[in-house]
Amino acid sequence: MQGQIGVAPMHQVSVAVQTPAHSLLSGPLSYRSAQELPPGSLVRVPLGSRELLGVVWDAPTPEHPPAHDPDKLRDVAAVLGGVAPLSAHWRRLVAFAAGYYQRSLGEVALAALPPQLRELSDGQMQRRLRRKAVAPDGPLPPAEPPLALSAEQQAVLAQLHAGSGTFVLYGSTGSGKTEVYLQCVQTLLQQDPQAQVIVMVPEINLTPQLQSRFEARFAPVHGPASVVAMHSGMTPPQRLRSWLAAHSGQARVVLGTRMAVFASVPQLRLIVVDEEHDPSYKQQEGARYSARDLAVYRGQQEGVRVILGSATPSLETWHHSRPAAEGGRYQRLHMPSRIGEQAQLPLVRRVDMNHQPRRAVFAPPLLEAIRERVARGEQSLVFLNRRGYAPVLQCTACDWKSDCPHCSAYRVFHKIDRSLRCHHCGYTEPVPRACPECGNLDILPVGRGTEQLQEQLAGLLGNLQRPDGTPVRVGRIDADSTRQQGSLQTQLAQVHAGEVDVLVGTQMVAKGHDFRRITLVAAVNPDGALYSSDFRAPERLFSLLMQAAGRAGRDAGIRTRSEMWVQTFHPAHPLFEALKRHDYPAFAAQQLAERRAAGLPPFSFQALLRAEARTQEVAQAFLTAAAAAATDALADLPGFALVTVYPAVPMGMQRVANVERAQMLLESPSRPALQTFLAHWHAVLHATRQTPAGRGLLRWALDVDPLAI
Ligand code: ADP
Ligand code: ZN
Ligand code: ZN
């Protein structure tokens, strides 16, 4: 208490900083501070020879003792005084995510903050905070009025307002889910002048559309800065500005991709996760978190509603929203009808490819249906999940194929610049003039990608004319055609303007975009997913096809019923039977029955340990040693017997950029058992790395609730 005369008493504070990956310093570090710093304060602290941004964490407890010897404590270098401390809720979310996904607290905390915060001094920060929000030119337009709700929308909204907890908004594409979000948000913002909400979408490309809808509603009422975006396509200053607006309470609506789940939103009242089934809610590197799952945790922890919206909910979410009497925890709300009189769901037609001309890419009846659309001035969408021209080039004389020398994959032939490109490591070369093995000049593309499909379709439709007499136009949208910034928006605008009659594309076009004049959607070759080794492949295919079908027939002015064509060699497959009836519940029931029988998620919980090394043997040796060490060290843990550790195997993509990859699956019917195992295994893994079994290992990582195994 009594410091020496003239010297202020020193306080000891715990600070979360980003320590080097996989150092064992995974908890907060202790520092000295002349002033008392409440938890959540942003500070700059020395670590080694560097000075880092840190977050003052809660006081050490007996379970989490201070990480430094009190005699050698270093001083906090600076306090970012202009920024209010991060809330206890935010800190709890970060601590939960770090524990659940097995990463260090500092890593998760710092990754959840805008990157520019690390670089600014307190003075720079203060200046930034003093900057006034830019006033818009002229008066704001009047707020766009809310739409008159359909009976289904009204019923759902009433249930949302009456209830609490986590909701699943199971609504067909075009059923008006967005309007429900908008009006739910509107009510919350009106009820409480401080209320804030988070709305998440899977793709950056979908944020501008949604942002303008939210701005039109709310900016005129709640101010020009009341709606902010948060996604990785923004510049560091933009991200900082949005983050500060949310943190200070000025922003009432935070719209963003998965990272928005970590936004500091002190007066949170609602989280919306739109298209909750989308795999991009799962972060695939660093802390491999699921933003959807964290949203549910955050909602529960803060006592606010969470809405998970989808026309094809993930099977996990669907299972959790079964009736409460059967153990369901989420409340399911249903909107089966599309908005508008003409808005029937499209007619699904299966084309049995066993009865079509051999090697036909387009079945003649499908081609005819596309021709009819073009002649009527309507648009078609042709969908193939493989970009490039051909997945592989092959020599007709010897066995040569266009392997990537660095990966266990073929390089894809891109005709447009006559290149062979590896889609995994990026290795690109011009196409050789002759076979590199035998000199044969005859090397041919095998298989088909979107680039070739576009070429073939243009050839097949050849002399066809549009109603105005101009020749048919076949466009393409995929990762290759949209590499340049802004080009996706331009190409989408062309489709909207009717400049394209037939659009060829990958799954990129199936998501969220509103193509009003499309009356035919065709999946050219979807069979691969039916018999895939990935147990989630059918689920993804079903939702993709439902979503693609949902692109069709949105224009109430078009009177013909839109159609979805599926070319398949397995027309009687239950997946297509359910698709034909737009019967997601039947599909889900069938899949869940299979998963239950096989003990797969959501009836079990999984984690993957991955290892990378120059050779497959080294990678696998580490995994095997880690499993053996677990048996020695963790056998007494509660629930140990409930965790199954499978043998180490090469990953599906075994070699990428000359790195060999292996993985080991852990599975348990009990989530707590798996979590306890992982929490204790972590130290064992660090130790194993130091043994001979860890020699030559490049890196290892844990993936909890992996999406692809
Ligand atoms: P979803 O997200 O469920 O696929 P959207 O929210 O995009 O559907 O709605 C589909 C279309 O219907 C949009 O153009 C939207 O503006 C319109 N819409 C939604 N609700 C209404 C309503 N109550 N009255 C009129 N149009 C509506
Ligand atoms: Zn050859
Ligand atoms: Zn490669």
- Same structural domain, 322 and 371: no
Report which protein residue has its CA nearest ligand 1's atom 26: 339
Query: Looking at the domain assignment, is residue 141 inside a domain?
Result: no
Residue 335 CA: nearest ligand 1 atom is: 3
Q: In 3D, which of 169, 28, 165 has the Cα closest to residue 110?
A: 28
Which residues form the domain of 58?
A: 11-129
Q: Which residue among 98, 129, 160 closes a domain?
A: 129
SS3 state at 310: strand
In Å, how far are 109, 493, 542 from 587, measured between CA atoms?
Answer: 39, 35, 8
Q: What percent of the chain has pLDDT over 70?
A: 93
512 pocket-lining for ligand 1 (C-beta < 6 Å): no
pLDDT for the residue numbered 349: 95
Q: What percent of the chain has pLDDT over 90?
A: 67
The two tokens of residue 295 are 């949203």
* Dist. CA 399 → ligand 2 center (Å): 6
Report which protein residue has its CA nearest ligand 1's atom 19: 176
394 pocket-lining for ligand 1 (C-beta < 6 Å): no
Report which protein residue has its CA nearest ligand 1's atom 20: 176
SS3 content of the chain, % helix, strand, coil (to 5): 35, 20, 40
- What gap in Å lies between CA 266 and CA 673, rounded to an integer? 33
- Same structural domain, 430 and 465: no
Structural contact between residues 36 and 59, judged by C-beta atoms closer than 8 angstroms: no
Local confidence band at 110 (pLDDT 50, 70, 90 cut-offs): very high
Cβ-in-10-Å burial (0-12, 13-18, 19+) of 319 comes to buried
Residue type, 697: L
* Dist. CA 428 → ligand 1 center (Å): 44
User: pLDDT tens digits, residue range 244-291?
Assistant: 999 999 999 999 999 999 999 999 999 999 999 999 999 998 889 999
Query: Looking at the domain assignment, is residue 1 inside a domain?
Result: no
563 pocket-lining for ligand 1 (C-beta < 6 Å): no
pLDDT at 608 > cutoff 60 = yes
The two tokens of residue 406 are 């660095």
Structural contact between residues 39 and 88, judged by C-beta atoms closer than 8 angstroms: yes
User: pLDDT tens digits, residue range 558-588?
Assistant: 667 789 999 999 999 999 999 999 999 999 9
310 pocket-lining for ligand 1 (C-beta < 6 Å): no
Q: Which residue bears the tokens 């410091």? A: 3
* Dist. CA 689 → ligand 3 center (Å): 28
Report which protein residue has its CA nearest ligand 1's atom 10: 174
- Same structural domain, 324 and 185: yes
Local confidence band at 44 (pLDDT 50, 70, 90 cut-offs): very high
Q: Which residue among 79, 94, 129 closes a domain?
A: 129
- Same structural domain, 292 and 435: no
Structural contact between residues 524 and 457, judged by C-beta atoms closer than 8 angstroms: no
CATH of the domain at 626: 3.30.70.360
Q: Comparing 13 with 133, which gets the higher pLDDT? A: 13
What would the mean pLDDT of 672-678 be, rounded to a whole number?
A: 96
User: pLDDT tens digits, residue range 439-449?
Assistant: 999 998 888 88
- What gap in Å lies between CA 578 and CA 565, rounded to an integer? 14
553 pocket-lining for ligand 1 (C-beta < 6 Å): no
User: pLDDT tens digits, residue range 124-165?
Assistant: 877 777 765 555 566 667 888 999 999 999 999 999 999 999
- Same structural domain, 418 and 514: no
- Same structural domain, 442 and 455: no
Query: Looking at the domain assignment, is residue 22 inside a domain?
Result: yes
* Dist. CA 655 → ligand 3 center (Å): 8
513 pocket-lining for ligand 1 (C-beta < 6 Å): no
Ligand nearest to the CA of 429: 3
- What gap in Å lies between CA 262 and CA 291, rounded to an integer? 9
276 pocket-lining for ligand 1 (C-beta < 6 Å): no
Query: Looking at the domain assignment, is residue 467 inside a domain?
Result: yes
CA angle 74, 76, 79 (to 5 degrees): 175
pLDDT at 498 > cutoff 80 = yes
Query: Looking at the domain assignment, is residue 638 inside a domain?
Result: yes
pLDDT at 341 > cutoff 80 = no
Q: Which residue among 268, 302, 335 closes a domain?
A: 335
149 pocket-lining for ligand 1 (C-beta < 6 Å): yes
Query: Looking at the domain assignment, is residue 3 inside a domain?
Result: no
- Same structural domain, 440 and 579: no
* Dist. CA 683 → ligand 1 center (Å): 51
pLDDT for the residue numbered 3: 41
pLDDT for the residue numbered 1: 42
Local confidence band at 665 (pLDDT 50, 70, 90 cut-offs): very high
Q: Does the predicted model carry a pTM greater than 0.85?
A: yes
CA angle 206, 209, 214 (to 5 degrees): 115
338 pocket-lining for ligand 1 (C-beta < 6 Å): no
User: pLDDT tens digits, residue range 617-654?
Assistant: 999 999 999 999 999 889 999 999 999 999 999 998 89
Q: What is the DSSP string of 419-461?
A: EEE-TTT--EEEPPSS-TTT--S-EEEES--HHHHHHHHHHHH
In Å, how far are 510, 542, 558 from 562, measured between CA atoms?
Answer: 15, 18, 9
What would the mean pLDDT of 169-177 be, rounded to a whole number?
A: 92
What would the mean pLDDT of 314-331 be, rounded to a whole number?
A: 96
In Å, how far are 53, 178, 419, 698 from 173, measured between CA atoms?
Answer: 44, 10, 39, 45
The total of structural domains in the chain comes to 5
* Dist. CA 130 → ligand 1 center (Å): 40
698 pocket-lining for ligand 1 (C-beta < 6 Å): no
Q: If you count DSSP H runs as helices and E runs as strands, how many of each does the chain have, helices first?
A: 17, 28
In the DSSP assignment, the letter for residue 23 is: -
Q: Is 164 left (phi over 0), alpha (psi -120 to 50) or beta?
A: beta
Structural contact between residues 515 and 380, judged by C-beta atoms closer than 8 angstroms: no
* Dist. CA 502 → ligand 1 center (Å): 25
What would the mean pLDDT of 473-487 be, rounded to a whole number?
A: 84
pLDDT for the residue numbered 508: 80
Residue 339 CA: nearest ligand 1 atom is: 12
Residues, CB within 5 angstroms of ligand 3 (ion): 404, 406-407, 422, 424-425, 427
pLDDT for the residue numbered 220: 92
- Same structural domain, 436 and 579: no
- Same structural domain, 170 and 315: yes
* Dist. CA 422 → ligand 2 center (Å): 20
- Same structural domain, 536 and 642: no
Mean pLDDT of the chain: 90
* Dist. CA 427 → ligand 3 center (Å): 5
- Same structural domain, 232 and 319: yes
What would the mean pLDDT of 216-231 be, rounded to a whole number?
A: 93
- Same structural domain, 15 and 59: yes
User: Which one of 339, 344, 555 would you pick to mutate in the ligand 1 pocket, going by the greatest count of ligand atoms within 8 A of its CB?
Assistant: 339
Query: Looking at the domain assignment, is residue 415 inside a domain?
Result: yes
* Dist. CA 407 → ligand 3 center (Å): 4
pLDDT for the residue numbered 534: 87
Report which protein residue has its CA nearest ligand 1's atom 18: 176
556 pocket-lining for ligand 1 (C-beta < 6 Å): no
171 pocket-lining for ligand 1 (C-beta < 6 Å): yes
User: Which one of 157, 179, 212, 217 would you pick to mutate in the ligand 1 pocket, going by the greatest count of ligand atoms within 8 A of its CB?
Assistant: 179
Local confidence band at 2 (pLDDT 50, 70, 90 cut-offs): very low
Cβ-in-10-Å burial (0-12, 13-18, 19+) of 373 comes to buried
Query: Looking at the domain assignment, is residue 108 inside a domain?
Result: yes
Q: In 3D, which of 707, 708, 700 has the Cα closest to residue 609?
A: 700
pLDDT for the residue numbered 164: 95
In the DSSP assignment, the letter for residue 301 is: H
Bridge partners of 414? 419
Q: Give the pairing type, strands 474-477 and 502-505.
A: parallel
Q: What is the DSSP string of 200-247?
A: E-S-GGGHHHHHHHHHHHHHHHH-TTSEEEE-TTS-HHHHHHHHHHHH
Is there a cis peptide before residue 602, judged by omega within 30 degrees of 0?
yes
- What gap in Å lies between CA 236 and CA 92, rounded to an integer? 26
663 pocket-lining for ligand 1 (C-beta < 6 Å): no
User: pLDDT tens digits, residue range 512-571?
Assistant: 566 778 899 999 989 988 888 889 999 999 999 988 887 776 665 666 778 999 999 999
